[in-house]
Amino acid sequence: MNLEFNEDQKLLFETVDAAVGRGYPAGARGEATSTERGWNDDVWNTLAELGLTGLTIDGDHGGVGAGPVEVYATLEAMGKHAAAEPLLDGVFLPSWLIAALGTEEQAKQWLPALAEGATTIAVAHAEPRRPWGSAPSVAAAHSGDGSVVLSGVKAPVRHADQASTLLVTAVDGDTTGVYVVDAAAAGITRADGRSADWSRASQVEFAGTPATLLGTTGTDATAAWHTAVARARVAVLAEAVGLMESALGHTVEYLKNRKQFGVPLATFQALVHRASDMYARVELARSMALWATATVEAIDGGADVDLPAIADDAFVFVGDTATAVAEEAVQLHGGIGMTYEAEVAHHAARLAAITESFGGLAAARRRAVASESALRAPSALLNNA
Amino acid sequence: MDLELSREDIAFRDGVREVFTREIPEDIRRRNALSRTTHDDIVTTQRILNAHGLAVPHWPVAWGGKGWTPTQSHIYASELQRNSVPQPLAFNVSMVGPIIAEFGSEEQKRQFLPATANLDIWWSQGFSEPEAGSDLASLRTTARREGDVYVLNGQKTWTTLGQYGDWMFVLARTDPDAPRKQQGLSFLLLDMTTPGIERRPITLVDGSEEVNEFFFDNVRVPVENLVGEENKGWSYAKFLLGNERNGIAQVGTSQRVFADLAEAAAGIPTESGTLADDPQFRTSMHSARTTLLALEATQLRVTGASENGQASPVSSLLKMEGTKALQELSKLRMRAAGDDSMLLPPDGDAGESLHADDAATIAAAQYLNQRKLSIFGGSNEIQRGVIAKTILGL
């Protein structure tokens, strides 16, 4: 039993921490998200050179085939600097979907390019005013010549403006599939906006847009989709932990340095105790995120555990903590914490974007509470009943 | 990472579990689960554990310790709690025992340690005073040296289970002129049959009498009952506070309380079904469940860090969040019982027909009693201060 990084994983964290830290001095998230790309290209290239864009892609397809702990270490380090590069949304999640559903030919077509960092792929599932867990309303239709076209609206689609390709969930009769769409295909109308965390997001409308099914016809993608998304929901918690730790660090420094009534804010016990509570919550959240990560690793090793249920439990717990920590970080900074220049403002915005990602926290809680596991006696170890 | 116990760890767990479930009588464990443990339950349990070498595993090996790994210590504490075994008396095994073993004379070790391990001596803690709670170092009880005795005068309070105490370890002021209040304190061992001691029980909000006040009027303590050096008592007390943090979060206890409540819920009717189907109840339970997972994972991290020889500064976190979780569960148990928790038996034996052993009946009283968790052993406000100072540098 062990929830620690091994030496290689420690080194990975330190490497990403150092590399991303160089590209993200104070205030850099605002600058990075306001570039045309929406992130820092130099940092992206460094990540690619370090092989991190190939982290989740197997060796046969140009990646390094690392596991969930390496994903955790990478994303926690990214979160620590509030970095905006879309490793998870633009590379990891699409790679999991392609590996799970795609044919070998499709894997060969897309995975090496992702691994190189030469491209990103946007995953389009959310639809306006439609529950994340419902079947998509975007529909696939077959033309006479055997080709497939999609119609309907997806929004928000994160980083769609930079993606070369979209992976779009759609229904074909009763069957849900994931479809590959070229970002420049005919019949696509894109309205670009931004997420609350200042990263890019778009509404994408398909009108008879040519598409290719990921995988082979007749296979329902629902289970594989849920598994890949559950993996992503666990992975994003690592970023949340990094963001929370950083927000706490900034808040502690602010309490030490900011003076009112002629004394540092740290003189006031009411404020200090709130910082202590933030610390306690962050550490519990870190434990939960590490535990969920270790569980995914065990599942990859053959353990019979319900990954989406684990992801719901962890997402709810860490998400609740993220909200509380972000609120306290802003509140303890006072008005300055709400400004675009303040780092904790970006932490808070990104944490809010995380809690509402992948269908959001409330939906995760609804599923978890309805699940039979809600009343099952908890045990963090897999063989300690 | 690895979420499985090793084969050796499982064998170890099964070994201690076997003793806990086979050797400790079922009725003792049942009473303990309902917080109705008696004096005899505690003594019987500790002697059985001691006979199996499981009462003082964390003591030095020369005095009955086992030299376990951090993982084994974690499993031991967790299994005790999960199986509702009354804990070995903390005053003996976690407090005075380790202090005597570390700082006591050879004569004191021989006189006290075996009897302390076997609960032949029941120890009480003489630390807190009416004017010295969280601010323990401001205590006023004096021990004035007169020849070969210290003459003890003053008052101690919150003495848990002091009504059973054969001996008390007392922190008293031996040098009233010391420049700092932490200096000039000494750690004395007091035979409770000594003349001049008066006990007054304190009745708690739930009706329990588990704490007491003690008054000392010219109580004469032989100087050989000084532990370590005169005026060094504070450093020994601090050693104690840093000692034995296993099980501090009581996650095993909370896991058991959770399982009991989840099982009971299916039999508690609501207007539309049972409590087990009630969305509000399920939401609260899910929240408790994830908190317990996070707490257990935190314990695993701490255990793993100490396996690698690193001290972890998070015992304050575990104490604070662990007790909050257990308190929350006691509140959920009361909510589940509703006004079924509002007819308690009268004091004494007359109320047996009122099902005093029923978890619902005692739920409200237990909820009230559990408020102590965030107050004793360093209140949660003290823990926040420790976190701020030692971890955050505030």
Helices B251-265/B279-307 angle, 10° precision: 160
Q: Has residue B349 got a pLDDT over 60?
A: no
Does residue B351 surpass a pLDDT of 50?
no
Tokens of B118: 């076997």
User: Structurally, what CATH architecture does the domain formed by B123-230 represent?
Assistant: Beta Barrel (2.40)
Neighbours of B2 (CB within 10 A): 17
For residue A156, cis peptide bond before it (omega within 30 degrees of 0): yes
Supply B383's token pair: 């823990």
Statement: residue A104 has pLDDT above 80: yes
> What 3-state DSSP class applies to A221?
coil
Claim to verify: residue A295 and residue A159 sit in the same structural domain: no
Domain membership flag for residue A311: yes
Q: How many residues does chain A have?
A: 385
Q: How many whole angstroms separate alpha carbon A152 and alpha carbon B224? A: 88
Determine whether the interchain pair B292/A365 forms a contact, defined as Cβ–Cβ distance below 8 Å. no
How many domains does one find in chain A? 3
Question: Looking at residues B3-9, what average pLDDT do you find?
Answer: 95
- What value does the mean pLDDT take over residues A168-185? 97
* Residue ranges matching CATH 2.40.110.10 in chain B: 123-230
Q: How far is B233 from chain A (nearest CA, A)?
A: 29
pLDDT digits (tens, 9 = 90+) for B259-272: 999 999 999 999 99
CATH number, domain containing residue A364 = 1.20.140.10
Identify all chain A residues contacting B282, using CB atoms and an 8 Å cutoff: 369-370, 374-375
A81/A95 same-domain check = yes
Is residue A306 included in any domain, yes or no? yes
- A383/B10 CB distance under 8 A: yes
H/E stretch holding B285 reads helix B279-307
Range A150-174 average pLDDT:
97
Q: What is the CATH number of the domain that holds A83?
A: 1.10.540.10
Would residue A338 count as lying in a domain? Answer: yes
Which residues of B are marked as active site? 244
Chain B residues lying within 8 Å of A252, measured CB to CB: 392-394
Within-domain flag for A380: no
Decide: A84 and A38 in contact? Cβ < 8 Å: yes
Say if residue A261 is in the same domain as residue A315: yes
> How sure is the predictor about B355, in pLDDT bands with cuts at 50, 70 and 90?
low
Secondary structure class of B320 (helix, strand, coil): helix
**pLDDT score of B210:** 93
Residue B101 has pLDDT above 80, yes or no: yes
3-state secondary structure (DSSP) of residue A114:
helix
Mutate to test the interface with A, among B286, B292, B295 (most CBs of A within 10 A): B286
Is the pLDDT at B168 greater than 90, yes or no? yes
Whether residue A245 sits in one domain with residue A183: no
Which of A278-282, B74-78, B236-240 has the least mean pLDDT?
Answer: B236-240
Say yes or no: A249 and A310 in one domain: yes
Distance CA B313, CA B164 (A): 34
Buried-state track B110-131, b at ≥16 Cβ within 10 A, e below 16: ebbbebbbbbebbbbbbbbbee
Same domain, A11 and A89: yes
Q: Is A375 in Cβ contact with B297 (below 8 Å)?
A: no
Q: Give the count of Cβ contacts less than 8 A between chain A and B.
A: 161
- The pLDDT of residue B387 is above 90: yes
Q: Which of A241, A265, A270, A236 has the alpha carbon at shortest distance from A252?
A: A265
Listed range (A204-213, B52-61, B230-239) with the worst mean pLDDT: B230-239
Q: Which residues of A touch B313 (CB under 8 A)?
A: none
Is residue A276 within 8 A of residue B379, CB to CB? The reply is no
CB contact under 8 A, B387 and A280: yes
Residue B137: DSSP 8-state: G
Distance between CA atoms of residues A309 and A365, nearest Å: 10
* A301 touches A363 (CB < 8 A): no
How many CB atoms lie under 10 A from the CB of residue B269?
Answer: 8
How far is residue A358's CA from residue A355's CA, in Å, rounded to a whole number?
8
**Strand ranges (E), B33-104:** none
Residues of A in contact with B12 (CB under 8 A): none
Q: Tell me whether 0.90 is exceeded by the ipTM.
A: yes
Same domain for A348 and A260, yes or no, is: yes
In a domain, A385, yes or no: no
B286 with A287: Cβ contact below 8 A: no
Based on the fold, state whether residues A101 and A186 are members of the same structural domain. Answer: no
Q: Long-range contacts of range B311-314, CB-CB < 8 Å, 24 or more positions apart?
A: B313/B390, B313/B391, B314/A283, B314/B391
CA distance A289 to chain B (A): 9
Amino acid at B392: L
Give CA–CA dist B95/B169, Å, rounded: 9
Burial category of A118 from C-beta neighbours within 10 Å (exposed 0-12, middle 13-18, buried 19 and up): exposed
Distance in angstroms (rounded) separating the CA atoms of residues B25 and B23: 6
Which segment of A83-87, B314-318, B332-336 scores lowest on mean pLDDT?
B314-318
Torsion of CA A189, A192, A193, A194, to 10 degrees: 120
Q: Which of residues 336-375 of A touch B (CB under 8 A)?
A: 365, 368-370, 374-375
Q: Tokens standing for A69? A: 């702990």
* Token pair 């505690």 in the structure block, residue: B42
Does the beta-carbon distance from A374 to B289 stay under 8 Å? yes
Cβ-based burial of B208 (10 A; exposed 0-12, middle 13-18, buried ≥19):
middle
- Predicted TM-score (pTM) of this structure: 0.96
Task: Check if the beta carbon of residue A168 is closer than 8 Å to that of residue A150.
Answer: yes
CA B122: distance to chain centroid?
14
Mean pLDDT computed over every residue of chain A: 97
131-170 in A: which are within 8 Å (CB) of B?
Answer: none
Beta strands in chain B (DSSP E): 123-126, 142-146, 149-156, 167-173, 185-191, 197-202, 211-222, 226-227, 269-270, 273-274
* A268 in contact with B, Cβ within 8 Å: no
Query: Using the beta-carbon criterion (under 8 Å), do B289 and A298 form an inter-chain contact?
Result: no
Burial class (CB in 10 A: 0-12, 13-18, 19+), A62: middle
pLDDT band, residue B213 (cuts 50/70/90): very high
Asked whether residue A244 is domain-assigned, the answer is yes
Total residues belonging to chain B = 394
Phi, psi of B59 (to 5 degrees): -75, 165
Q: What is the mean pLDDT of residues A330-358?
A: 97
Q: What percent of chain B has pLDDT over 70?
A: 94
Residue after which a domain boundary falls, among A213, A232, A253: A213
Q: Given CB atoms, is A83 within the 8 Å cutoff of chain B?
A: no
Terminal Cα-to-Cα distance of chain B (whole angstroms) = 33
Q: In chain A, what's the furthest Cα-to-Cα distance?
A: 79
pLDDT at B244: 47
Confidence class for position B241, pLDDT limits 50, 70, 90: low
The answer to whether residue A180 scores a pLDDT higher than 90 is yes
Smallest CA–CA distance from A273 into chain B, residue: B384
Confidence of residue B315 (pLDDT cuts 50, 70, 90): confident
H-type alpha helices, chain B: 7-18, 26-33, 39-51, 70-82, 90, 97-103, 106-117, 233-241, 251-265, 279-307, 315-337, 363-369, 380-386
Q: Give pLDDT, residue B237.
A: 87
**Hey, is the C-beta of A282 within 8 angstroms of any chain B C-beta?**
no
Q: Please indicate whether, in this complex, the C-beta atoms of B3 and A379 are within 8 angstroms of each other.
A: no
How many CA within 13 A on the CB side of residue A257?
7
The strand pair at A175-182 and A165-172 is best described as antiparallel
Q: Are residues A99 and A128 in the same domain?
A: no
Tens of pLDDT along B328-342? 999 999 999 999 999
Residue-wise pLDDT for A293-310, tens only, equals 999 999 999 999 999 999
Kindly report the number of other CB atoms within 10 A of residue B358's CB atom: 13
Residue A145, C-beta contacts closer than 8 angstroms, at least 6 positions apart: none
Closest-CA distance, A349 to chain B, in angstroms, reads 24
Among A147, A180, A213, the domain boundary falls at A213
Q: From 3.30.1050.10, 3.40.50.2300, 1.20.140.10, 3.40.50.11540, which CATH number describes the B251-391 domain?
A: 1.20.140.10
Taking the C-alpha atoms of residue A344 and residue A246, their distance in angstroms, rounded to an integer, is: 8
Residue of B5, B286, B291 lying closest to A384 (CB–CB): B5
Cβ-defined contact of A273 to B384 (cutoff 8 Å): yes
d(CA A344, CA A338): 8
Q: What is the location of CATH 1.20.140.10 in chain B?
A: 251-391
Arithmetic mean of pLDDT over chain B: 93
Q: Which residues contact A327 (CB under 8 A, 6 or more apart)?
A: A348
Residues A362 and A246 in one domain: yes
In the predicted structure, residue B354 carries a pLDDT above the cut 80: no
For residue A81, give its domain range: 7-116
Based on the fold, state whether residues A336 and A257 are members of the same structural domain: yes
Q: Look at residue A55 and tell me if it is in a domain.
A: yes
Answer for the pair B74, B108: CB distance below 8 angstroms, yes or no: no
CATH number at residue A181: 2.40.110.10
- Residue A385 scores a pLDDT above 90: no
Check: CB of residue B72 under 8 Å from CB of residue B9.
Answer: yes
Domain end, chosen from A75, A92, A116, is at: A116
CB contact, 8 Å: A294 with chain B?
A: yes
Are residues A362 and A340 part of one domain? yes
Q: Which of A48, A129, A126, A60 is nearest to A91 (CA)?
A: A48
Express each pLDDT in A29-51 by its tens digit: 999 999 999 999 999 999 999 99
CB B184 within 8 A of CB B175: yes
